[in-house]
Each structure stands twice: as C-alpha cells, then as structure tokens.
Amino acid sequence: MSNEIQAVGLDIGTSRVRCVIGEPSADGKMNIVGIGEVESKGLRRGVVTSTEYVADSIVKAVDEAERVSGLDVESATVNLSGEHLRGENKNGVVAVAGPEKEITAEDIERAVDSASAMPLTPGWEIVGRLPQEFIVDGQDGITEPIGMNGARLEALVHVVTSPSAARQNLLKAVARAGINVEQLVLEPLAAAESVLTDDDKEYGCAIVNMGAELTSLMIFGRGAVQHTAVFPFGSMLFTKDIATGLRVSIPEAQKIKHSWGCVAAFLLDDDERQEVIEIVPFGRSETRELSKEILCDIMQPRAVELMQHVARETNAIKAQISGGVFLTGGGAMIRGLAEVAEQVFDAPTRAGSIESSYFGGLVDEVQGPQWSTACGLALCSMRSQIRGDGTGGKSSARKVADWLGSFRDKFK
C-alpha cells in the first residue's frame, strides 16, 4: 500500500508556502519523504489577491519537495484559511427510518444535514461539518450510533462557514500551478491533526495557530471541535513594532525578529540583557547598536496584548482547556511566546511540534511549529486515501459510514 499512496500536504500561507510529501509505513506512521518551503506572494490575511503570484509560489514549494523526495506531485490536500471563517454549534433531529429502528449511515447523514440546514449570508457557504456527538432517544455522548436501535436521532455538529469566493480563488490558484486538490481542510484543524493526541482532544485543549497576518483558535473537548474563531492579526505586528520603534526597514525588522527577538524578559539573564546587536537604520548604511533588553521591551507588550485577545475568546465561552494550549504556525517560533501565553491563559502551554507517534522519515526537518499545518494536511491526505474516501467515487452514505468507523480520525 505504501507504494500506491502518496500523501501531499500544501500549506499556503500569507508569508510562506510549505509542501510535505509522505508515504504510509508498515507501523501506521506517515514517513515524510519530501519537504519544500518558499516565500509566499499573492495573499493577504489568508485570502488570494493574485492567483498568478500564489501559483508561482506553489510551483516553487512543490518543486523543492519533489527534488527531495524524487517523486512527482499531481494532487494535494490544501489548507483553507481566511479572517472571515465562522464556527457555530448546531443540532438536528430526525426520526430513524428503518422498520427495525436500527440506525444506518443514511440516518446519520440526514441528522447531520438537518443540523447544517442554516440560513447563509449571500455569497457564503458551509466549508466544514464536524460532528461533536449523537443523541439516541435522549442518551447523549454517543460517537458511533450506526447499528444502534432507537426512534429519535439527534446530531450535534460544529458548522464552519466562509465566503465562497475565498475557496474558489484558492482552488483556481492551485489549479493554475498544475496541482489537483484532493480536499480542503480548515487550517487549525490540519494543525491539530499533526499535533494533538486523542487524549488531548478528549480532555479539552486549544490550538492557537499564529501566521503572519491571521491567528486562528480552535477548541477541542470530548474528542471533537467545540469552537472556532479567527483573529485579524499575526506575527507581522511584531515586525511592524520593531520597524517603527527602531526606525528600520521591514526586511531588517524581520531579520531582527527572527534572529534575536524575545517576548519574555524573564527568560533573559543579566548577560543577555546587556548583549548588543547591530542594526541598520532605514535609509542609512552605517550600523548602530541595540541591547536585547530594549528589543524585548518593544516586543513583549504586543505579545501580552495578542494572547489576551485570544484568551478573552476562550473565557467568553467558558472553554475547558485543562489539556493545555498548543501554539502552532510560524508566529509560535518567537522566543518566549509560549511562556507569555501560559501566564495569560493560566493553562499549560507549549509550542505545538508534530506528534512523534504519527510521523517517521524526515521528522527532524519539520520539528518546528511552523510545519504543523503542512504535516497535518499530508496526514489527512494519507488517512483519506487509506479509507478510500479522498477522491474516489463512493456514495455519500458510504463515506459517512467509513468516517464514523474511524471516528477518532474524522477530522478531514
């Protein structure tokens, strides 16, 4: 099977495009055999502004991954992002249709359809239907109702909506790059796929995926998605603060942020506080000196502000995140952000690197939180192909049955 299945994850972000190629191994893991990463152009806050520029970035990232793996990429699973993504919890009730009152895949599908029957703003569409649990004749907490007996079936579903144009333009850009789209997966959901364990999802946790211009929040509990939110800010704010505070160009500010940035002053010892770095002011050729302590003083207030903004969302819905907060995305690479977030959320917090029990192969090359989405997309691709529901011609009812049969792997 490993020779037949080629799993490709394509993470198209505002600042970077990343491609991961994987193959299933005999022990159930996905062996990463190719990776590619290039600068992204043609997107703003996760939305395509130029299909030509986006397609060019995709081609470069895929070419790099193909060179590493020695494989040709024809199709990929792609992330869906954007500041307008909205998540709502809905419920739908149907009568069990069979004469024996045994619940079938068709009953499940009708219940999910009932829950998803909601009025939509013109130009919007449903991009994700994520079942949370089922209730059979008043008995709740059921995850796999097929084969059970009952007269009344209720589905609790987390429904995510988005403007139609965002998805359509993304598909056009990928097609222009010569790649077929297997499926679109919500960006924080893909990150969760590679980072979280079943226990994390069961006990309650939060994924905070920080990109350059967007930060998404997805909260899990009882093994399913409970809440989704997207915020119109990201790590680019740190870059702009540095550029403004130090009077340097944006490229120079990016370099300073990645090389020396820290948002938690308590992580700096006395020697490091006084350590001097050289910067090049905007429009000048001579350098000037800057202490790391001053740089941290510029960045730390912004980190606290951003994490407080996200934490207010979790507090507003009274989310149970005893399992912790996982920071993913390129923004999570900033030194000290996890420590600041832990204080703000008052919950265990860490950078969300990929779960070692899911991956093999070139794992050392993708250990940073910036690779979590691309790896999760490739994992979704592999699992879909193994179940046969990725691009095949199965009926929708058969897909529901397969999907419920592997409920813990349902995030696709």
Whether residue 396 is predicted with pLDDT greater than 60 in this model: the reply is no
Averaged over 136-141, what is the pLDDT? 93
Domains 86-163 and 197-352 are alike in CATH topology: no
Q: In Å, how far from its chain's centre is CA 104?
A: 32
Confidence of residue 46 (pLDDT cuts 50, 70, 90): confident
User: Percent of the chain scored above 90 by pLDDT?
Assistant: 83
Whether residue 410 is predicted with pLDDT greater than 80 in this model: the reply is no
Q: Which residue has the higher pLDDT, 412 or 147?
A: 147
Mean pLDDT is lowest, of 176-190, 296-310, 381-395, for 381-395
Confidence of residue 373 (pLDDT cuts 50, 70, 90): very high
The domain over range 197-352 is classified in CATH as 2.30.110.10 = no
pLDDT at 399 (0 to 100): 44
Whole-prediction pTM: 0.91
- Cα separation, 52 vs 58, whole angstroms: 10
pLDDT at 392 (0 to 100): 41
The domain over range 86-163 is classified in CATH as 3.30.930.10 = no
Whether residue 230 is predicted with pLDDT greater than 90 in this model: the reply is yes
- Cα separation, 21 vs 178, whole angstroms: 16
pLDDT tens track for 5-35: 899 999 999 999 999 999 999 888 999 999 9
pLDDT at 3 (0 to 100): 53
Q: What is the residue extent of each domain of the chain? A: 86-163, 197-352
